[in-house]
Chain A
């Protein structure tokens, strides 16, 4: 199993450009997440999708949009990139739900390293 696959792995953008980060999971997980990680700070949640057809804001959603395309895919879009969005972005998924299923851990992708100049 590939688990969680993120593309691209590296990207350099100019200020004001747009791009979409892609994420796909093959574990039949219900919930998917986008995080960013900056030096000296913990992982911060940007957006999440508890189940197919739903999305919700996390801790730092400004400047981002998401699409839960289907159960497998969850994309993150930067409409007008800014230097403050230079970061490492991680996609994650989990089985989701409540009870025992809801307690399962997350599976993370290998990350996208984005630099905005």
Chain B
């Protein structure tokens, strides 16, 4: 099962882009990369996911390297409300494999005024 490695903490100035890296060097061909965030004491919130192509939605962009061994979540214009713990996880698309999800401790992003 692919595990992920993220820096424990990062800082970002309000209004600037926040680029959160994630390493997943053992990712398998059928595993997606997912990003979630958890704002203080709330349940995790889904942000974005991708398989091999770059993805963008209203919240963020996801850049996956060509070899799929790492990815970057980009918050284009960070606000104070983006202060949260960000989790990068990999997951096979077969729902029966969900018991193998490894969440890790994520990256604690602090957006500063």
Cβ of A74 within 8 Å of any chain B Cβ, yes or no, is: no
A42-B106, A111-B43 given as contacts; is B101 within 8 A of A102 (CB)?
A: no
**A44 CB contacts on chain B under 8 angstroms:** 103
- Among A43, A48, A94, the residue within 8 A (CB) of B103 is A43
Among residues 13 to 72 in chain A, which have CB atoms less than 8 Å away from a CB atom of chain B? 30-31, 33, 40-45, 48, 50, 56-59
Whether the Cβ atoms of A110 and B42 lie closer than 8 Å is yes
15 CB < 8 A contacts A-B: A50-B95, A57-B99, A88-B41, A94-B95, A99-B93, A102-B93, A102-B95, A103-B51, A105-B49, A106-B44, A106-B46, A108-B45, A109-B43, A110-B43, A111-B41
Please report A residues at the B interface, Cβ cutoff 8 Å. 4, 30-31, 33, 40-45, 48, 50, 56-59, 88, 90, 92, 94, 96-100, 102-103, 105-111
For the complex with contacts A30-B95, A43-B103, A94-B95, 11 further pairs of A-B residues with Cβ separation under 8 Å are A42-B102, A42-B103, A48-B98, A50-B95, A90-B43, A92-B44, A96-B95, A98-B93, A100-B93, A105-B34, A108-B45
